Amino acid sequence: MTTLRIATRKSPLALWQSEHVADRLRAANPGLTVTLVPMSTRGDEVLDRSLAAIGGKGLFLKELELAMLRGEADCAVHSLKDVPMELEPGFALPAILARADYADAFVSNHFADIAALPQGARVGTSSLRRQAQLRALRPDLQLLDLRGNVNTRLAKLDNGDYDAIVLACAGLERLGFDDRIRSRLQAPQWLPAPAQGAVAIECRDDDVATRELCAQLDDSGTRVCAEAERAMNRALHGSCHVPVAAYAQLDGEHLYLAGLVGSAADGRVVRAHAQGRGDAPECLGLEVAQMLLEQGAGEFIAAS
């Protein structure tokens, strides 16, 4: 293999992540030419409706997968949290890169953290998961929709449309906006999206050469954690319609998983956590999902 073509979305964050993968593959494979194939996806173009309303997260992947099927690209780079729990048949994730900052960020030009917000403050986020956790902490807040790429969201905050917004730390840090993070919303009190902070490479299942090349960047510890978080989400029929959060940590052979399911409408949340073995992440994911269901998570899922 002499050339690798990476299909990517065109947002600044997607381009940063794809350039990062390209740089790492070039460094590990002298003589390999790596190019980017930037593409627009439906998830990027339709900004006036929620992701759930236009068909969910797969919308960020479909155009990139079609480019791979047409032979216009060899692989695609994604934020793993945007990758549906069930991958499209015929595709694989040969690499999950080491996780960056997993946490959500509280971003505001006037307030230091959620507790410092005045009564009825306007907080922007279109994520049901973030809305449910905000409502659970502060039922008084006014939650407003906020879509678009990271740069657009920061511009809307600066424009005065919101008192605060919630974004992923990883995206802010990759784009050099570390200084916008007023506080990190951390586990176990606040949980991220399953696989938040991890970048994944997708390619055709039958493309062995690309799979082997990309597998050089796989981080086994991050893969174990992501599998536990995604197995939990899958067992809860996770999609953009249900606020599901999960965070796993691997310590030697011990795997720890915390999960949460909530209601964005009224801020009720159920939580569960358990420990298991690092060689059986899916078992732990199913176990925590079962614990959440026993506490009534099914009601939130059915209501969505």
Residue ranges that bind ligand PBG, judged by CB under 6 A = 79, 81-82, 150, 167-168, 170-171, 196-197
User: Measured from the CB atom, is 61 or 288 closer to ligand PBG?
Assistant: 61
CB of 99 to ligand PBG, least distance (A): 8
Q: Name the 3-class secondary structure at 255.
A: strand
Are the beta carbons of 235 and 259 closer than 8 angstroms? no
CB of 126 to ligand PBG, least distance (A): 9
Q: What CA–CA distance (Å, rounded) separates 116 from 111?
A: 6
Q: Which two tokens stand for residue 236?
A: 């809860």
For 200-226, what is the HEC assignment?
EEEEECCCHHHHHHHHHHCCHHHHHHH
Ranges of H-type helices in the chain: 12-28, 42-45, 51-54, 62-69, 128-137, 150-158, 169-174, 208-214, 220-235, 281-294, 297-303
State the catalytic residue, choosing from 23, 44, 48, 82: 82
CB of 171 to ligand PBG, least distance (A): 3
* Count of alpha carbons within 13 angstroms of residue 106, beta-carbon side: 20
User: Measured from the CB atom, is 64 or 274 closer to ligand PBG?
Assistant: 64
104 carries an active-site annotation:
no
User: Measured from the CB atom, is 141 or 167 closer to ligand PBG?
Assistant: 167
What is the β-pairing status of strands 142-144 and 122-124?
A: parallel
CB of 158 to ligand PBG, least distance (A): 16
Q: What CA–CA distance (Å, rounded) separates 241 from 219?
A: 29
User: Measured from the CB atom, is 168 or 301 closer to ligand PBG?
Assistant: 168
Q: What CA–CA distance (Å, rounded) separates 55 from 255?
A: 33
CB of 275 to ligand PBG, least distance (A): 25
The candidate with the shortest Cα–Cα distance to 15, out of 153, 127, 171, is 171
User: Measured from the CB atom, is 82 or 229 closer to ligand PBG?
Assistant: 82
The candidate with the shortest Cα–Cα distance to 33, out of 4, 7, 6, 71, is 4
CB of 264 to ligand PBG, least distance (A): 16
User: Measured from the CB atom, is 9 or 211 closer to ligand PBG?
Assistant: 9
Q: Which two tokens stand for residue 149?
A: 């790429």
* Phi, psi (degrees; rounded to nearest 5) at 271: -130, 150
CB of 105 to ligand PBG, least distance (A): 8
The DSSP code for 259 is E
Q: Name the 3-class secondary structure at 290.
A: helix
User: Measured from the CB atom, is 81 or 204 closer to ligand PBG?
Assistant: 81
Catalytic residues: 82
